Chain A
Amino acid sequence: MNTWRRRIAKERQIWIMAVPMIVWVLVFSYYPMYGMIIAFQNYVPGNSFFSGDWVGFAHFERFFNSPDFSTIMRNTFAISGLNILFGLPAPLILALLLNELKNKAFKRFTQTLSYIPYFISWVVVASILFTLLGSDGLLNKLLIDFGFIREPISFLGEGKYFWGILTTSNVWKDVGFNSIIYLSALASIDREQIEAGKVDGIGRFGTVWHIYLPGIRTTIILLWILGLGGILNAGFEQQLLIGSPTTAEYSEVIDTYVYKYGVQLGYYSFAAAVNLMKAVVSVLLVISMNRIAKKFFDTSIL
């Protein structure tokens, strides 16, 4: 009898804290969602949102029927795919490697340096790439000096290199910053477990495979599910700055397309429609991957 009453009292305690949070999210996040309605209208800023100028799914159709649709989707998936393939494991591997460093000072020093690229703007990155990969750039000079090629290769001018350059830049820029969360997760692993593993003689690699990775499993799964859910976000600023007319075929992605043919020309409804579509796809992806995670790894992020 006592525990039951105490349990109700406990829940009430929680609800007292939870209700303001619910109010907050309703006010700041849900209330403005009426704006999504413009995806089904021909919205002109200044008009009321409910002026009833309905066009239904016209904007969605326009997107799917656009002449470059297949190119845009191909580029988006390719760039995102590469970002996921390399960009998701890289911070984890970096965190594990950092963790293995014996000298604490060196470890901290390296880790601090590792996230500096995050603060370098894409404008600067683009200009560095130009210095490195331009026809007179460092890479071409080296390749010619060592006799691998005779004529300089226009790395930034030929479409087939674009995805590689972009992915490398993305990973370079984000790996250090993104590894921070993995490091914090590693820090929470029970030291006794690690010691026990050592005694059992499972070795360095064994420690990683059997103790570290399982120990931060929930974090990994969470970050990877969210990362995969963002597959339709292939970047925007990078393409505009690193891309050029000769690589346009490989650099046009959903976000750049929406910007050029939506926002810039004043077609806000079109932009809203595409963003809405992206959101729906992302949510569905995350939910389905969460189900898989629940089944195979017994972890759910929701």
Chain B
Amino acid sequence: MAGEPNAFGWVKPAQTTVIDFYQADRDNPDKVARDTVRLHDYLLDNFNVDLKKTVYDVDPKERLNLMLASGEYPEVISAMDDDTVDKWKAQRKIIDLTPYVDQYGQNIKKALGDKYKTYLDEDGKLWGLPRGWGYLPGPDFTAHIRMDWYEEMGSPKIETPEDYYEVLKQMVAAHPTNAQGEKVYALSWNDQVNINNVMGIWGLKDGYKEDADHNLVHWLNTSEGLEAARFYNKIYRDGLLDPDLFINKFDDWKTKFANERIVGHIGSWWHSWNAGHEIWRNSVPDYQEDMRYVQIAIKAAGAENAYLSPKDARGWNYTVLTDKAKNPEAIIKFLDFTMSPIGTRLLGWGVPNEEDSLWNYEGDDKWSFNEAQKTALLDGTFDYEKSDQLGGNRFWLVHGQGLLEDDNKSTAWYDQNFVDEDKWKKLMYDNTKDTVYDNTARRVVFSVDNPYTLVNQQIEDLVKNGFAQAVTRKTEDEFVSTFNELRDKANKLGLQDLEKYRTEEYKKQLAILNQ
């Protein structure tokens, strides 16, 4: 009944609140339609909110531009980036949310806490609500090693990259070819691996060395950068680096990996799971649990820390209300609910209290996990596709992805809730404890108006290509001269100006965040 609070303590509006939003992410509309039906109906019944998501399978930037140019757009748009928010704000197509959040956004303000003010513009106005803000304490990028073969060797200690390479070398010596007789390598690379993450091993933060005064120097201009590149070059010269490493697309790398041809990896934490045991447990007869990769941290001798996983807590992008929104108060009221811990659980885990639900809600803020699903997750028998249809995280408008404040343990990502109970996740977290750091202050928006956008892109491309060239030199002297050439070229293009720019922006952000 309208006017009365529902089981979640939220007052149902008399008139159905319609939130028809376009999410500017490239997605499959058919899948989205299939996955949002149940949660949509649940919300309509229990909240009198008609939440509808539209996606297109075209480039979202193009789509947004067309919307802007033609004047045809919905009331709510989600997943807009900084640049686009500014553009729409300049054309007065989105509305200032501050008055609504001030009045109805208690949960929003509480959840964002100190960070709330960082989302306001120079005039103190809020134009977009962040989504996916905060971060999970787990690592994003790690080094990986083959577990069973490692245990075979007696689990020798691995602390530095040199240790790591030694162990990999011995592993390859013990397993020089796979079952089909193909050569095995120590390391490879794929098009998703980012040089900056590798640099973290040598103590560089997101590709830059930071001194005590927060001045930034790009890895090309540091000795650590040279060492990191030399590390790969040495492995290449020893013949233990996959010679096609920079040609590998993710799929090509995955095929090699799944065929047991690469014993180590430095890259995203999930790479070695996706290409490793998640395939093997279904395809290898007599599959043993240890036939998998574990994530570890390695730190170069002189580095202060292994800064492997920079985390940007600001959020992926924003949700905005356009000037066509007929009832902004009602929309903000609902969005505010989703920012509360229980609201985030509802939108993060999907429909509760059904037989195949991931969780149960008993009312009065009391909730519990569905034991059957939880066990399935820990066992590896969890049916992801079916559970997607419960709508979890399918409507991601404003909630965060970090740990919820009421118990500091649950998170909207359902499968990240049981880290302690999942042997392998726990191992990963333990191994990479100190490698996660907050990188929010380093954020720079390279919009069309930014004079450094072009230079940044040129240098990024130059560095990507140059690094590949340097690593694949056949002698150490050639490597050093190629590296130096790369460094000189980059500096000529304007790398040092870019460093200065980044330093300024960094210091600015630090000042704001520390206020």
Contact = CB atoms under 8 A, between A and B. Distances in A.
A244 B457 contact: no
B87 A156 contact: no
Nearest to A244: B247
Nearest to B183: A136
B448 A245 contact: no
B251 A127 contact: yes
Contacts of B83: 266
Interface in A239-275: 244-246, 248-249, 260-261, 265-267
Contact of B87 (A44, A135, A157): A44
Given A136-B182, A136-B183, A245 B244 contact: no
A35 to B, nearest CB: 11
Interface string A37-61: 0000000111100000000000000
B448 A44 contact: yes
A261 B465 CA distance: 16
A157 B68 contact: no
Interface stretch (B206-214, B357-365, B467-475): B467-475
A230 interface: no
B87 A154 contact: no
Contacts of B453: 265
A229 interface: no
B243 A67 contact: no
A156 B468 CA distance: 13
B166 interface: no
Nearest to A66: B458
A131 B323 CA distance: 53
Contact of B461 (A134, A246, A248): A248
A130 interface: yes
Contact of B243 (A135, A249, A266): A135
A258 to B, nearest CB: 13
B395 interface: no
B472 A157 contact: yes
A197 interface: no
B68 A265 contact: no
A81 interface: no
Contact of B448 (A67, A135, A260, A267): A267
A261 B462 CA distance: 13
B69 interface: yes
A152 interface: yes
Given A45-B65, A265-B453, A157 B465 contact: no
A46 B91 contact: yes
Interface in B293-334: none
Interface in B324-364: none
Nearest to A134: B244
A249 B489 CA distance: 14
B52 interface: no
B219 interface: no
Contacts of B454: 261, 265
Contact residues on A (Cβ < 8 Å of other chain), bracket: 20 to 34
B465 A260 contact: no
B125 interface: no
A244 B467 CA distance: 12
A267 B465 CA distance: 23
A61 B323 CA distance: 39
B246 interface: yes
A46 B87 contact: yes
B472 A265 contact: no
Contact of B457 (A134, A154, A261): A261
Contacts of B457: 260-261, 265
B448 A246 contact: no
Interface string B110-146: 0000000000000000000000000000000000000
A248 B465 contact: yes
Contact of B465 (A45, A67, A249): A249
A236 to B, nearest CB: 15
Interface in B421-447: 446-447
B464 interface: yes
A154 B69 contact: no
B465 A266 contact: no
Interface string A143-171: 00000000010101100000000000000
Contact of A245 (B88, B182, B446, B467): B467
B244 A135 contact: yes
B246 A157 contact: yes
A130 B69 CA distance: 42
Contacts of A130: 244, 247, 249, 252
Given A260-B457, A261-B457, A244 B68 contact: no
Nearest to B256: A136
Interface in A219-248: 244-246, 248
B493 A246 contact: no
A136 B243 CA distance: 9
Contact of B464 (A152, A245, A267): A245
A67 B457 CA distance: 13
A260 B87 contact: no
Contact of B469 (A44, A246, A261): A246
Contacts of B465: 245-246, 248-249
A67 B492 CA distance: 11
Interface in B225-264: 242-244, 246-247, 249, 251-252
A88 B115 CA distance: 62
B50 to A, nearest CB: 29
Interface centre among B83, B183, B244, B472 (most CB of A within 10 A): B244
A246 B468 contact: yes
A127 B91 contact: no
Given A136-B183, A260-B461, A244 B468 contact: yes
Contacts of A152: 243
A247 to B, nearest CB: 8
A229 B465 CA distance: 32
Q: Which 4 A-B pairs have the closest CB atoms?
A: A245-B468, A45-B65, A46-B68, A248-B465
Interface of B: 61, 65-66, 68-69, 83, 87-88, 91, 93, 182-183, 242-244, 246-247, 249, 251-252, 446-448, 453-454, 457-458, 461, 464-465, 467-469, 472, 493
Given A45-B69, A152-B243, A266-B447, 14 more contacts: A45-B66, A46-B87, A46-B93, A126-B249, A130-B249, A130-B252, A134-B247, A135-B244, A154-B247, A246-B465, A248-B461, A265-B448, A265-B453, A266-B83
24 contacts: A44-B87, A44-B448, A45-B65, A45-B69, A46-B93, A67-B458, A127-B249, A127-B251, A127-B252, A130-B244, A135-B242, A136-B244, A152-B243, A156-B244, A157-B247, A157-B472, A244-B247, A245-B469, A246-B465, A246-B472, A248-B465, A261-B454, A265-B457, A266-B61
